[in-house]
Amino acid sequence: MSISAEDVKRIGELARLHLDTDEVEHLTSDLNAILQHVDSLRDLGLTELPEDSLQSGSKLAPDPQEAVEGPDKLRETPVDFAPEWQEGFFIVPAPPGVNPSEDQ
């Protein structure tokens, strides 16, 4: 796959990077060179994970198609999930074993 200067400008907008004309030109050339190298991955034709990959020590993200959408906590009333506030911020309970005062 190759990308055009227009693609680069659009990606720049998504990444909130202002790119001048020179930068667009250089990035178009650089990204195409990198993507040409990256395209070798597709030659592998991997469509599935190795059977025991999750026991290998490498933590892999779940396949996005398998992700299950849960209830959106932000649609609940904040007092239901974050009853305490301080200076306009939710107070999030410290994880087990963490004493926040040690960070002071």
Residues that bind another protein (CB under 8 A): 1, 3, 7-8, 11-12, 14-19, 23, 27, 30-31, 33-35, 37-42, 44, 46-50, 52-53, 56-61, 63-64, 95-98, 103
How far apart are CB 21 and another protein at their closest, in Å?
15
Count other C-beta atoms under 10 Å from residue 71's C-beta.
7
Q: How far is the CB of 98 from another protein (least distance, A)?
A: 5
Alpha carbon 51 to its chain's center: 25
